[in-house]
Structures are given as structure tokens and as C-alpha cells.
Amino acid sequence: MARVGRPDLKLVPADEARRLLADVRPVGTEAVGLSSAAGRVLAAPFAAPADLPSERRAVMDGYAVRAADVAPATEDAPVILNVVGAVPMGDVFRGLVGPGQAVTIATGGFVPDGADAVVMVEQTRTAGDDRVAVLRAAAAGANLVRPGEDLARGEAALPAGRRLRAADLALLATFGVTTVEVYRQPRVALVSTGNELCPPEETPRAGQVRDANQTALAAQVAAAGCLPACAGIVPDDATALRDTIRGLLATHHAVILSGGSSVGSKDLCADAVADLQPGILFHGIDIRPGKPMLFARAGNRPLVGLPGFPTSSLVVFDAFVRPMLWRLGGETDRDPWPARRAARLGSPHKSAAGREDYLRVRLGRRDGDLWADPLPGGSAALSNVVRADALVRIEADRLQVAAGDWVEALVYL
């Protein structure tokens, strides 16, 4: 049923919104091959199943020797050793390095028995056939790694909830792990609401605007490690919206609605989700831009209603929705803003008590300091978020920022 008038939203503080959004559980797990595991989130902690390395290995090209033999070696009085063989690449030296003996070894080669140090080739000279002059002492253990020195058997290596990077895959491959249990990627349905919207490929009639949010949200959802599904445009019609949401909740792990989240006669999201359980957790956050954001759940399936203005939608997604989607995808405790830089605000800013503001800023260096210059235009201006290098968050308890005051810039990566 359409509401009349615009009663004020009951705003929750930003911290409270973050707390409510954090209360979602991952959607399940699946096994994937290592070649498709990059960027997926590990579902169980991984401990080293064996010592790494499994044997003593050289970390330099040179000679495997007995440290005691080369202890007196100097440039002027080198120690001459008999070269009794070489460690072949991909094989081991079958023999013992005895007193007065050396074996040629390359980086990564398994150090033969009897030897307890590797002398770098740069610290040697050939001294005739099968003889080498060692010019400097090498302590026991020099230029080699011991078994388990990199990772000991049983040592924690990768925590559950970690989004796998190339280095992690190298580690798993090293241990012969070729399939890995990861969290399933949440399927996230995107719906744009509004009688005024037409798809980007159409020419708007008078009074229409193109739907920009669905395309942007699809990119943001994918970048958050989820699988976006564009479900099109739904008019401002309570029944159509409710039916669309019901259908999508049955086949997706989350639904994001754009537009229609504030409290006006044509803003029907809240009505359309009113019969979900547990239903609406908040409708309205004390932030700018993006105040009318709505968050509801149908069981563990989150439903987000984002404000229609593209700038608001873009900013609110990054600040509030993205961390929620990371959790839905199994990722825990990830810093939502890994690139933070201290900067001086280029122009004064006034905020209301309790309100958290997100200024779109350009970063630039002047007089030896980094400056964050707020870009003109409010939430109706898309260009400001396009031109922004960073967001500056003005905390809820900060009412006034003077030009030149230090703030924290949350840099777009």
C-alpha cells in the first residue's frame, strides 16, 4: 500500500548499521580446483602438512662444504678443497661430503650429507682441475635453509575466511594441494525501481532517465567477489515489486534494490519487504550521502534498498554493503578501506551531530602536504564521485572541520 507524505525515517547511527549488517552468515562451501581458486575465500584453515622445505636446500649457487674446513679461509690464505662431484638439478648427490671436500651446488639444490654450509661461488676461485679455493669462512648453516625453517609441519599457514592470493596458491601447490574447499560465491540479484527509468541502451522519453545503478552495482558486486544477476527495472508498483523480490529471494542469496528506499508515496521498498522474516533491520542511516538505505533479511538472505541517486548508491555500497557481501562470501575481518592516507581538508566542512559524512575528494600534494579537496556537487552530481580519488569520512562526533585540518582519506583502489 502506498504511503502518503514523508514521515521522517528513524535513522540508526552508522555504527549500529555496521553492526546489523555484519550479522550475516556465509552461504555454504564447495571444492574448487587450484586453477580457479584465485580470489575465492578459504573455508577451513590450512596448516602445513609437512615441513617446508622437506630437506636442507641451498639458497645460493656455490659449493656445499664442511664449515669447519673453511673456518680459516681468507683472501690471502684460501682453503683448497677437492671438488668430488655436483648436485644435479632435480636429483641428489649420492655420497658424503668428507673432510677437505666440496660439492658444486645450485640454488635450490638439496645439500648433501656431510656438508653443513654453502659457500657462495663469488667467494671462491677455481684452483685447477677438481679443486676450488675458498676465500672466506662460512658458518655452519650459511646459505642454506633447514627442513621446516620456512614452515614447520602443523604450523598455521592460511586462516579460514581468507581471500586467496597468488602467493597462497603457490603455497598450496607446493604441498600438492590441488583442490581446495572455499565458500560459495553469493548470487546477488539487482533490481532497479522507478517509473522514470529506462535501460541504458534506450533513448529516454521526456521525464525518463537511464538506469545507471544496475550497471554500476553489477561491477561493485563482482568486485566484492559475488556473482551479480541483473534482474531489470521494476516500476513503482507495490505488487510488482513484492512479487519480484519473492521470486529473486528464492533463487539468489541476496537482493539489492536501487531506488524507492526513502519515505515517499512512490518509495515502496519498505512496504514490499514488510512481510519478510525477520524483516527490516533498519531503514535510514545517519549518514550523508545515502541516508535512506534500507536493510532487511529473509532468514539469512539479506535485502538491501539503496538510494536512487547514483552517487549515493555508489558511496553507500562501498561503505556499508560491500563489507556485508564480503561476510556473506565467508570473508572475515577485512579492512573495508585498506588504503588510508592522512590529508588536510581543502575547504571547511560542517556536519550535523551524530551524522557520518562521506566527502568525495581529489588528492593532491601542495606545500609538502597531501590535501583532500572536496569536489563540488551533492548526491545528485555523478561527476564528483567519478572524479574522486578518495572519500573522506567525517566521523559522527565531528561537527566542524576547518580548512587545513587533518582528515583520513579512504583511497579508491
Q: Which stretch binds ligand AMP (CB under 6 A): 24-32, 178-186, 260-268, 353-361?
A: 260-268
**Between the CA of residue 58 and those of 115, 118, 393, what are the distances in Å?**
11, 7, 50
Q: Answer with the entry of Mg ion, ligand AMP, none that 168 interacts with (C-beta below 5 to 8 A by kind).
A: none
Contact 319, 16 (CB under 8 A): no
Prior bond to 53 cis, omega within 30? yes
Residue 197 touching ligand AMP (CB under 6 A): yes
Residue 9 engages ligand AMP in binding (rule: CB under 6 A): no
Q: Would you say 109 or 194 has its CB closer to ligand AMP?
A: 194
| Interface pick for ligand AMP out of 41, 212, 285, 294 (rule CB under 6 A) | 212
The binding track of 307-346 with respect to ligand AMP, each residue x by CB under 6 A or -, is xxxx------------------------------------
- Per-residue binding string, Mg ion, 183-202, x by CB under 5 A, is -----------x--------
Contact between 211 and ligand AMP by CB under 6 A: the answer reads yes
Torsion 252-254-258-263 (CA) sign = positive
225 binds, among ligand AMP, Mg ion, none (CB under 5 to 8 A by kind): none
What are the distances in angstroms from CA 237 to CA 31, 205, 331, 380?
A: 42, 20, 36, 24
The count of residues interacting with ligand AMP (CB under 6 A) is 18
- Exactly one of 259, 290, 346, 374 binds Mg ion (CB under 5 A); that residue is 259
Q: In 3D, which of 283, 261, 252, 248 has the Cα closest to residue 194?
A: 261
- When binding is defined by CB under 6 A, the residue of 228, 259, 289, 323 that contacts ligand AMP is 259
- Residue 356 contact among Mg ion, ligand AMP, none, beta carbon within 5 to 8 Å by kind: none
C-alpha dihedral (304, 307, 312, 318), degrees to nearest 10: 0
Distance from C-alpha of 31 to C-alpha of 132, rounded to nearest angstrom? 53
Asked whether position 292 contacts Mg ion by CB under 5 A, the answer is: no
Q: How far is the CB of 214 from Mg ion (least distance, A)?
A: 13
Stretch that binds ligand AMP, among 103-111, 150-158, 208-216, 394-402 (CB under 6 A): 208-216
Decide: 283 and 294 in contact? Cβ < 8 Å. yes
| Of the candidate residues 53, 228, 260, 323, the single one contacting ligand AMP (CB under 6 A) | 260
Residue 262 engages ligand AMP in binding (rule: CB under 6 A): yes
Where on the chain is the footprint of ligand AMP (CB under 6 A)? Answer: 192, 194, 196-197, 209, 211-213, 258-262, 267, 307-310
Binding site for Mg ion (CB under 5 A): 194, 259-260, 308
